[in-house]
Structures are given as structure tokens and as C-alpha cells.
């Protein structure tokens, strides 16, 4: 019979990981509701928090802690895909595009960005 004490008893590592994920989620919510922060800094902090959560989930829950290349691929592949998709749609969000009109409630005219 294999050594019964080879696997750790308890879920301490999972509970600590869950607490860290909860803290990072609350931090991201706080950043999202902050209005005094510049948008570029807010976006950078939110992406950083999300990448940290992806890395933590991959390392602990997917047991990739000792498989560094798989963890790197898991963390940065979504970021690369997001950047590619951003540049695909960036041209459609031009400020001088007459199809992008913001309707102001109570106003008689439409205002463009």
C-alpha cells in the first residue's frame, strides 16, 4: 500500500487561495467604482488584477504550480487574444463616426462623442 501520508490532509491551501481571490475580486470592484482615477490607470489595474487571479487559479486549482510554461501560456494567451480583438474593433469606435450618437435624455438634439 502506498504511503497514506504522502498527500496533505485538509484544505488550508485552498482556503487561503479562496481568500486571496475574494480580496482581489473586492479590490477589482473597488477600482471599478472609483471615479477619481484616470481611465488608463483603472484599466491597467483591472487587467493586472485579472491576470493575478488567472495565475493563482491556474497554479493552485489546476495544479500547474510546477508546470511553469503551461501556467505562462494560460495567463498570457487571453491577454494576447484580448489585444488582437481590441485592434480588430478599434477602428469602429472612432469619435467622428456619425453612427455613434449619444442620445441625451430630455434634450432635443443628439450629441456626438
Whether 3 maps to a domain, the answer reads: no
Whether 89 maps to a domain, the answer reads: yes
The pLDDT tens digits for 53-63 are 988 998 888 87
**Bigger pLDDT: 73 vs 30:** 30
What was the pLDDT predicted at 113? 47
Whether 32 maps to a domain, the answer reads: yes
Whether 5 maps to a domain, the answer reads: no
Whether 7 maps to a domain, the answer reads: no
Residue 75 CB partners (closer than 8 Å, separation 6+): 51, 54, 55, 58
Whether 6 maps to a domain, the answer reads: no
How many separate domains does the chain show?
A: 1
The pLDDT tens digits for 29-49 are 999 999 999 998 999 999 999
**Domain enclosing residue 37, as ranges:** 12-112
Percentage of the residues of the chain whose pLDDT score is greater than 70: 73
Whether 45 maps to a domain, the answer reads: yes
CA atoms within 13 A on the CB side of 29: 6
Are residues 61 and 74 in contact, defined by beta-carbon separation less than 8 angstroms?
no
Could you tell me the pLDDT band of residue 107, with boundaries at 50, 70 and 90? low
Amino acid at each position: 500500500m502506498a504511503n497514506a501520508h504522502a498527500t496533505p490532509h485538509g484544505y488550508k491551501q485552498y482556503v487561503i487561495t479562496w481568500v486571496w481571490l475574494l480580496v482581489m475580486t473586492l479590490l477589482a470592484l473597488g477600482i471599478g467604482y472609483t471615479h477619481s482615477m484616470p481611465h488608463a490607470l483603472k484599466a491597467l489595474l483591472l487587467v493586472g488584477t485579472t491576470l493575478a487571479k488567472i495565475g493563482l487559479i491556474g497554479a493552485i486549482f489546476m495544479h500547474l504550480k510546477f508546470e511553469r510554461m503551461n501556467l505562462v501560456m494560460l495567463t498570457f494567451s487571453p491577454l494576447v487574444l484580448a489585444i488582437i480583438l481590441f485592434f480588430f474593433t478599434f477602428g469602429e469606435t472612432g469619435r467622428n463616426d456619425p453612427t455613434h450618437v449619444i442620445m441625451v435624455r430630455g434634450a432635443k438634439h443628439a450629441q456626438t462623442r
